Structure 1
Amino acid sequence: MMRLAVRLKPMRNSFWEWKASETGRKSSAGFVEAWRSLATSNGSWLREPIVRPMQDEIVNALHLGERTRASHLLSELGREGQALQAADFISILQYCARTPDPLFVMETWKLMEEKDVELNGKCYFLTIRALCKGGYLKEAFNIIQTENSDIYPTLPVYNNLLEACVQVNSLNHASECLHLMEQQGVGKNAITYFLLLKLAVVRQDLSAVRDIWKEYINCHTLGIITLRKFIWSFTRLRDLDSAYVALQQMIAMALQQKFRLTKNAEGRLSDLMLDIPIPCRNELTLNGYAKNNCTSIPSVAGYCDEKYSIKGFKFGMEAKKVEADGFSLSKQPISEPVVKLLRCSFGDLIHTCANSQNVLLAEQLMLQMQNLGLEPSCSTYNGFIRALVSVKGFHDGMEMLKVMQQKNMKLHDSTLAALSVSCSRGLELDLAETFLSQISKCHHTYPFNAFLEACDILDKPERAVRVLAKMKHLKILPDVRTYERLFSLFGNVNAPYEDGNMLSQFDAAKRINAIEMDMMRNGIQHSQLSMQNLLKALGMEGMTKELIQYLSAAEDQFLHRSTHVGAHIYNTVLHSLVEAKESHVAIKIFRSMISCGVSPTAASYDIMIDCCSIIKCYRSACALISMMIREGFYPTAVTYTSLIKILLKFEDFDEALKLLHQAISEGIQPDLVLYNTILQAASEKGRIDVIELIVEQMHQDKIQPDPSSCSHVFAAYANNGFHSTAMEALQVLSMRMISEEDNILEEHRLEYENLIFDEDLEAESKILEVFKDSAYLAVAILYLRWCATFGFPISWLPNQSPWAKRLSWYHASRLG
């Protein structure tokens, strides 16, 4: 400023000398003419650019892509006889900054330096802007750091430089820029802080955002637009607490009308509130923004105890009078710009709630919007649905979907994906597929993988084919999770409990090869789970040779990745070998597993103990039990089942029963598989005494029988000629298969009797249709219908049956 004053002093003296000598000439025409002559005599000040047509010609050449011609014209401009000024280059610099064209702006800058053109602030600003927008940060820094006695960079220049640092995510350049600003005493304005916020968000640096927040409220007055930008930053980094505090301050400011908004030339909102930096605001004020300022805001804590009802929402554009903690909201309508800012901020928080699975806060925010009279946008509804389904499931999401449909709002692809995932987890394949089919654009595989997983659980591989076609249509490349599911869905051909044959094994090999070839095309390697599912598919088809080959290949493949095949993969192979009665191969693999340094799990020991039942070696099983205990694993119901199975191979029922009672005394609850193992062996050997003891023990433990239990018991009595007892036992076990509680049986008695005594020819098909989701219940009703068909009366008090009473007495006497 001092240099500028010195340069203008002779000019002011000349003007007043001219004015004193020309006091009689006061016409405006004379004043303008004299002013122009004065300007010409002082270095052509205020003259029109002498080369404006040439500037336009250069700009046109650049616009047409004729860079050689533009450079030639620029050099011609430099040869003009008259001295050049900054104004003679403004149009060129403006075009370069707008395009941007950093190369031509550097060429222009070089010419200006060569011709000693006196720079002004606008020229300097446009040059830096062109370089920054073009990504030439180094050159921009060079110009700023060059010593220039005539002009210094202003805050807008530094903001342009900082914006370029944000765009390229360059923390080093940004730090250098801030250092230069501090050196030259250039402060920060709202734009500077917002650029710093954007840089922190890009770098996922939450601590930096919090530091900026503290610095800003310590030195500046918060405005409604500034709060909006801080809320955006906090939500992008999932800091819901800080974002919520800022939102409540924003609401208070909106209700108290403490703002003046206008639109700038670019159509963006700006705050006209005067902001004078206060260097050292005290700590009390700083804490007040985090705590005290929120006391006057309507509290939403009171809504936590209320039953949330989606249908209760009624939104309007005007604020409504609602009492909340003694605070009455304004009746005055909120201005449209403020409504837009508030809606965006609420929407940001609700979207973050969806990403953080914080459905409670999302519900509170929606209720607060209702109290403020803010109509949620389509985007906010979408975020709210995602928050709902992430925690509460798809049923609540479907209710909100109805509200959106009434308002003719469309679901975003991300919301459709979230709904589909929730439906897939609920095993609602029809709904899940419907939502997937509506997705128009998707960059993630997770909704499709979730559907494939549901298909795998329900054993519906045919449903997966259409979804795979949808993925291909959307050009979504499968990831390793997709292939994990594909091996499980399509790796084996036969249905469960069916043995493989040559034809099915050939088809399975083709499928596995096709999936692996697709993995190679997409550059995806096997994961532990994909390899496990592949090996499981081979085992289910009985392809033991290929199973061993793939295990060896997996060991080599994972070894190259500096890792080992997991114990769960070995367990899959061992289980398949034991199921195929390949006991010696299983023992070899188990020893190899230990020698490779892979520690067996409890499942590994259980599988090998089961293997001992094939080779009928109880001593080996006991040795494995010792190893198991030394490794810190304790026997479970599965372990005892395998041990008892070995004893039953030797028809040693007394020892098997002792082992059963030992397990019970040790606090191990036997499961249905264990009991069915004993029932099957006892039925085959005609040991009715053992069967009756086990049936009563199951009843005491409240373990419901299944169709296999009924079949073993019925066969034991029937094969020994006790047909009447067989029917009575079948009836009692069928009742217990429905429920162990007499009151439940009595509650559904009429419904079940209508099905049991139905004389319609299609009655059995009807029973299967009614209970299609509960196979055991359908079998129990069919067994009872069979008993009724043979003339046996149906009693709905199974424990009052003579057979049941006798078993209870027999069990008590044995224990006594």
Structure 2
Amino acid sequence: MLRALSSLVERKSLGAIVDICSKMESGMMGVQKQRFDVYNFVMVRFLKNYDVEHGLEFHRRMTSKGFVPTVLACNKILRTLYDENQGDIAHKFFLLMQEVGPKPGLVTFSTVINGFCKERKLDEALKHYALMTAKGIEPDIIVYSILINGMFKAGKFDEGGQLLSTALGKGLKLDVVIFSTIIDGYIQRGDILRGIKVYKRMLRQDVQPSIVTYGILLNGLCKNDQFLEAFGVYCQIVKRGIQPSPIMYSSLIDGFCKVGNLVEGFALYEDMVTKGHVPDVYVWNMLLSRFTKQGWMENALTFFYRVVKSGLAPNVCIFNTLLDGFCRLKQIKEAVNLYIMMAAHDIAPDLITYTLIIQMIFDLGIYREAMALFFQMIKKGFLPDVITYCVLIDGLCKYHKLAAGVQVFEDMVTTGTRPDIAIYNVLINSHFKDGNLKKALELFKYVLDCGPDPDIVTYNTVICGYCSMRMLEEAVHLFAELKKRQTGHNTITLTILIDAFCKEGKLDVAMSLFSEMTGKGRVPNVVTYSCLMDGYFKLHSFKTGFELHKEMLSNNISPNIISYTILIDGLCEKGMTKEALSVFYSALRCGFLPDVITYGVLLCGFCKFGRLVDAKSLYNSMLEAGIKQNSMVRNMVAKYHLHSINGSDLPVYGRSSSSSSP
């Protein structure tokens, strides 16, 4: 019989099919079921063949003959159509059901609403929700779950929240799945507080969070930098005896790494391994990255070898992280060894690897080799990106090869790579340093008119350029313009201006800017204080200079070698060479390595106030430390005939021991 029906469907012989059903005697046992089977077979065949017109007409004729299929059979057809992604056909069938029967029920509406939600036709879903309530069909928990899930996944939070309140107001108890969807929706939106609010509401409804709920909440808190709260969720998970998932561990480890808490990060890593989870390369790289950013390369390598020994194969990202760490610390030998190790692991360098090595070669001062590697990289099929170009242009400009840097910039534009603002900042800065005000301002005007949008570094670069050319009026004018813009100024902007006015001896203006900085909640840094101290010392206002140094320390701003040098210079100018030497020792004890300027300033103080034996000893210590003398030191040695001073019991300076100062 089915073969005959298939043939009739293929020939679209509706009349013959309806006749077959009509000839079945309704009184006979099993005939009604046979009719349902025939109906279902024919409808599915027509609709699956996309012959909607004949399928719907068949349903219409059957009902007109008095045979109305059960709503259960029609619901089954609807589900089949939605499963086959034939939503439009399903909806036409639903409309026909409303017209000729059978009357759609709760399951029918639930199926149709679910179909609309899956197709992201949420307005239609809400329309049919309203229709079912108008027909007196009370939505159940399934309907509300479908709608709430659809709304939140589509970002319709107001509609979803209203449906949630309606469902709970009717005494319906939503399950953990739908609560998790709502929490996830709010968190994805960035509304972590609403997510937590729903989480607490879920607990009040006596719905226990699942591992998925905890994962959503924990990940959201970590993304919003609320790591302590995330760790609290983790503790709840452990307390309930639930095994945290690898993703949870990953989120928490990432969070602790971001705030620099490697102790907790590693404790979680160890716990993860102990629980039988195998950390992936992403987790491995997070911990390595934190080591390298802290400059703890020995720890990074130890961890690297440990993980490799455990069987996890490193990838190019892992090697790039380590390479970046060595390059930051200028540990060239280690970087080269690591590059060789990549080949031993059969890992080919990528664009990031080449960019890091090019940067390292520039740092060594051998720009020709850097350029050679750049062209070698291109020959191997790597297309430089904007970061690679920026490294190249910056490296050339630092070695006073501005023309070559401009040529690379032009080649970059020709090949279709759009320069970012960082590259324009490098070129603007280099033109200022080259004394080419016209070119620098042309580039600045270009980014203002055509983009990319200038950032705070751009404005600081131009303000600094004006100051370097003693064009303070223009610098102040641009600063005033910057304050009007959305970009806003920062501590560096004000420090640049403070330094410029200090160098011009206009300490009243410099202090006014300093007051503006602190008055608006911006924290001055060690450079800011150093500029002011230097300015006051040069005007022989030693008391104010020393007070600024004390203020800096009281504000927990750590000095650097430059601020130490300025303080030593001020003390020497005032004839306080004993105190100056004490500050010199303090710098050593803090781990700072004095440079030729620091030695020169103290040497000048010793010579000026007749402490020539101390000056000769300090000079010897400087040479032993491998520091080359500059013209100032050379002239000082010649002027005071330091070479002619002999003595086997000269004091030794430049050691970080606790030697007492004279």
Residues in 1 aligned to 2:353 and 2:146: alpha-carbon distance in whole angstroms: 41
Amino acid at match of 1:236: G
Query: Which region of structure 1 is more displaced relative to structure 2, 198-207 or 691-700?
Result: 691-700
TM-score when normalising by structure 1: 0.54
Distance 1:184 1:79, change over 3 A: farther
Amino acid at match of 1:408: G
Aligned twin of 1:48: 36
Distance 1:37 1:471, change over 3 A: farther
Aligned twin of 1:96: 81
CA RMSD of aligned residues (A): 5.4
Residues in 2 aligned to 1:558 and 1:729: alpha-carbon distance in whole angstroms: 64
Alpha-carbon contact 2:428-2:444 (below 8 Å) kept: no
Deviation at 1:679, TM superposition (A): 8.6
Where 1:409 maps in the other structure, the secondary structure is: coil
Whether 2:178 is the aligned partner of 1:162: answer: no
Where 2:114 maps in the other structure, the secondary structure is: helix
Deviation at 1:101, TM superposition (A): 3.4
Correspondence list, 1:543-554, <5 A: 544=435, 546-554=436-444
Amino acid at match of 1:550: A
Residues in 2 aligned to 1:566 and 1:215: alpha-carbon distance in whole angstroms: 49
Indicate which of 247, 251, 254 corresponds to 2:238.
Answer: 251
Amino acid at match of 2:472: F
Amino acid at match of 1:77: H
Aligned twin of 1:233: 217
Indicate which of 490, 507, 514 corresponds to 2:396.
Answer: 490
Deviation at 1:98, TM superposition (A): 2.2
Amino acid at match of 1:740: G
Distance 1:99 1:207, change over 3 A: farther
Whether 2:115 is the aligned partner of 1:222: answer: no
Correspondence list, 1:592-741, <5 A: 592-596=474-478, 624=506, 628=510, 639=535, 661-662=573-574, 672-673=596-597, 676=600, 696=614, 704=622, 709=629, 726=643, 740-741=654-655
Deviation at 1:534, TM superposition (A): 1.4
Gaps of 5+ in 1: 1-34, 62-66, 255-337, 495-503, 576-585, 611-620, 645-656, 683-687, 746-807
Residues in 2 aligned to 1:466 and 1:248: alpha-carbon distance in whole angstroms: 51
Aligned twin of 1:112: 97
Where 1:491 maps in the other structure, the secondary structure is: helix
Query: Which region of structure 1 is more displaced relative to structure 2, 208-217 or 144-153?
Result: 144-153
Whether 2:45 is the aligned partner of 1:57: answer: yes
Aligned twin of 1:507: 404
Distance 1:167 1:673, change over 3 A: same
Whether 2:590 is the aligned partner of 1:590: answer: no
Deviation at 1:196, TM superposition (A): 1.2
Aligned twin of 1:75: 57
Where 1:353 maps in the other structure, the secondary structure is: helix
Alpha-carbon contact 1:129-1:160 (below 8 Å) kept: yes
Deviation at 1:203, TM superposition (A): 1.3
Where 2:421 maps in the other structure, the secondary structure is: coil
Query: Which region of structure 1 is more displaced relative to structure 2, 433-442 or 629-638?
Result: 433-442
Residues in 2 aligned to 1:515 and 1:713: alpha-carbon distance in whole angstroms: 45
**Amino-acid identity (%):** 11
Amino acid at match of 2:267: Q
Amino acid at match of 2:231: Y
Residues in 1 aligned to 2:656 and 2:151: alpha-carbon distance in whole angstroms: 75
Residues in 1 aligned to 2:649 and 2:465: alpha-carbon distance in whole angstroms: 39
Deviation at 1:144, TM superposition (A): 1.2
Alpha-carbon contact 2:428-2:443 (below 8 Å) kept: no
Residues in 2 aligned to 1:675 and 1:641: alpha-carbon distance in whole angstroms: 18
Residues in 1 aligned to 2:614 and 2:145: alpha-carbon distance in whole angstroms: 84
Deviation at 1:171, TM superposition (A): 1.0
Gaps of 5+ in 2: 1-25, 483-492, 515-527, 541-568, 585-594
Distance 1:367 1:510, change over 3 A: closer
Alpha-carbon contact 1:251-1:342 (below 8 Å) kept: no
- After superposition, the C-alpha distances for 1:400-430 in whole angstroms (9 at most, x for unaligned) are 3223222322347765665454444334462
Deviation at 1:595, TM superposition (A): 4.7
Where 2:386 maps in the other structure, the secondary structure is: coil
Amino acid at match of 1:378: D
Residues in 2 aligned to 1:105 and 1:411: alpha-carbon distance in whole angstroms: 51
Distance 1:98 1:396, change over 3 A: farther
- After superposition, the C-alpha distances for 1:641-691 in whole angstroms (9 at most, x for unaligned) are 9899xxxxxxxxxxxx999624869998798438759999x9xxxxx9769
Indicate which of 453, 462, 473 corresponds to 1:569.
Answer: 462
Deviation at 1:240, TM superposition (A): 3.7
Residues in 1 aligned to 2:247 and 2:405: alpha-carbon distance in whole angstroms: 53
Whether 2:82 is the aligned partner of 1:200: answer: no
Aligned twin of 1:526: 421
Residues in 2 aligned to 1:489 and 1:609: alpha-carbon distance in whole angstroms: 31
Aligned twin of 2:276: 374
Structure showing greater radius of gyration is 1
Residues in 1 aligned to 2:363 and 2:534: alpha-carbon distance in whole angstroms: 23
Amino acid at match of 1:124: F
Amino acid at match of 1:197: I
Residues in 1 aligned to 2:466 and 2:386: alpha-carbon distance in whole angstroms: 26
Distance 1:193 1:386, change over 3 A: farther
How many residues are aligned here?
Answer: 553
Whether 2:449 is the aligned partner of 1:537: answer: no
Alpha-carbon contact 1:679-1:712 (below 8 Å) kept: no
Amino acid at match of 2:46: I
Residues in 1 aligned to 2:187 and 2:349: alpha-carbon distance in whole angstroms: 26
Distance 1:573 1:532, change over 3 A: farther
- After superposition, the C-alpha distances for 1:62-96 in whole angstroms (9 at most, x for unaligned) are xxxxx4x3344333333333223334434542233
Deviation at 1:361, TM superposition (A): 2.1
Alpha-carbon contact 1:417-1:439 (below 8 Å) kept: no
Deviation at 1:472, TM superposition (A): 11
Deviation at 1:133, TM superposition (A): 0.9
Distance 1:120 1:731, change over 3 A: farther
Residues in 1 aligned to 2:68 and 2:38: alpha-carbon distance in whole angstroms: 9
Alpha-carbon contact 1:571-1:603 (below 8 Å) kept: yes
Aligned twin of 1:615: none
Residues in 1 aligned to 2:349 and 2:268: alpha-carbon distance in whole angstroms: 29
Amino acid at match of 1:426: L
Correspondence list, 1:366-515, <5 A: 366-369=269-272, 373-378=275-280, 381=284, 384-386=287-289, 389=292, 393-411=296-314, 418-428=321-331, 430=335, 457-459=363-365, 462-463=369-370, 469=377, 478=386, 485-491=391-397, 494=400, 506-515=403-412
Distance 1:115 1:534, change over 3 A: same
Residues in 2 aligned to 1:436 and 1:173: alpha-carbon distance in whole angstroms: 54
Deviation at 1:245, TM superposition (A): 3.7
Distance 1:248 1:426, change over 3 A: same
Amino acid at match of 1:213: Y
Deviation at 1:120, TM superposition (A): 4.0
Distance 1:88 1:638, change over 3 A: same
Deviation at 1:108, TM superposition (A): 1.8
Query: Which region of structure 1 is more displaced relative to structure 2, 397-406 or 135-144?
Result: 397-406
Residues in 2 aligned to 1:211 and 1:472: alpha-carbon distance in whole angstroms: 55
- After superposition, the C-alpha distances for 1:530-559 in whole angstroms (9 at most, x for unaligned) are 44421343355x4x3x44232254157448
Distance 1:510 1:659, change over 3 A: same
Residues in 2 aligned to 1:364 and 1:200: alpha-carbon distance in whole angstroms: 30
TM-score when normalising by structure 2: 0.65
Residues in 2 aligned to 1:36 and 1:464: alpha-carbon distance in whole angstroms: 94
Whether 2:173 is the aligned partner of 1:187: answer: yes
Query: Which region of structure 1 is more displaced relative to structure 2, 566-575 or 409-418?
Result: 409-418
Residues in 1 aligned to 2:84 and 2:300: alpha-carbon distance in whole angstroms: 47
Indicate which of 135, 152, 161 corresponds to 2:138.
Answer: 152
